[in-house]
Amino acid sequence: MKINILTLYPEMFPGCLGYSLAGKALADRKVVLNVVNIRDFATDNYKSVDDTPFGGGAGMVMKREVLDAAIKSVYQTGPIYYLSPRGEVFSQETAKKWADTDSEMTFLCGRFEGIDERVIQKWYIQEISIGDFVLSGGEPALIAMLDAMIRLLPSVMGNSDSAVEESFANNLLEYPQYTKPQNWEGISVPEVLLSGHHENIRKWRLEQSQILTKTRRPDLWTKYLANQQ
C-alpha cells in the first residue's frame, strides 16, 4: 500500500509509526510512506507557502499554487484526504474501510489557518477529522489514523481474532483483561476466567462489554442496540 503524505514537516514521519506493528509493516514494505515537503514547491525567493486571507481575519492560509504543484508531483490514483477539523470524524469503521481497500491514498496535512478552498474543489478532496478539537497541524492526526489503519491490514495483524473482539468492533467497548498472578495486592481475577468454561467466559465478557458501553458510551450503546434488532 502506497501512502503519499504532503506536509510542511516531513521529519515528523514516520515518527511513532516507525515502531511496533506499524514499524514492522513499514520495514517489510507492506506499507510505503512517500513523504513530500510542500515547501519544495514554493516558487518565490522566500519559499513562502502561506498568504493572508481574503476578507481579512487572523492567521495565514496555505497557498493554492504551492499545494497544487505538490499534489501534482505525487498523485497517480486513489482518494485524496485533507486533515481538517471540518471533516467527517475518523472511526474504527473508517480504519477498517481503508485497510480493506488497500489502494493508494494521498493525505494533505494543513498548518496555519488551513488551505485555500479551491484546492479542495479542484482535486475533489475529502476532509477527515481526528475529533472535535483543533490541532496546530494535520500531522499528529494523520499518524494516529495511519496507525489505526495499518494494524488492521490483513497481512499485518497476527491474530485476526484480536480485531474482531476489540473495542468498537461491534459498537461495544472491550471487556476487562487480566494476566498472571490470580491475586495481586488483594485484587483477584474474576472466578469465571479461571473456570476453563468457554461459554461462560464468552457470556461474562459480553456482559462486561455491554455494561461498560452502556455506562461510558451511550452513543455506541444506541448503535449496538439498533444492530441487534
Ligand X SMILES: C[S@@+](CC[C@H](N)C(=O)[O-])C[C@H]1O[C@@H](n2cnc3c(N)ncnc32)[C@H](O)[C@@H]1O
CA distance 27 to 143: 16
Site stretch for ligand X (CB under 6 A), options 2-10, 129-137, 151-159, 170-178: 129-137
Spatial CB neighbours of 154, under 8 Å, sequence gap ≥ 6:
99, 160
**Is residue 134 near ligand X by the rule CB under 6 A?**
yes
**Is residue 63 near ligand X by the rule CB under 6 A?**
no
Q: Which residue's CB comes closest to ligand X? A: 110
Nearer to ligand X, 104 or 113 (CB): 113
HSE toward the beta carbon, residue 68, CA cutoff 13 A: 10
> What is the number of helices (H) and of strands (E) in the chain?
8, 9
Among 33, 36, 80, 130, indicate the residue that binds ligand X (CB under 6 A). 130
Interaction with ligand X in 71-90: which residues (CB under 6 A)? 83-86
End-to-end CA distance of the chain: 37
Among 8, 49, 99, 111, indicate the residue that binds ligand X (CB under 6 A). 111
Question: For residue 115, what is the DSSP state?
Answer: B
Nearer to ligand X, 134 or 164 (CB): 134
Among 17, 141, 148, 212, indicate the residue that binds ligand X (CB under 6 A). 141
Nearest CA to 107 among 217, 24, 3, 192? 3
Interaction with ligand X in 149-178: which residues (CB under 6 A)? none
Residue pointed to by grid coordinates 441487534:
228
Which residues are at the interface with ligand X (CB under 6 A)?
Answer: 83-86, 109-111, 113-114, 129-131, 133-138, 141
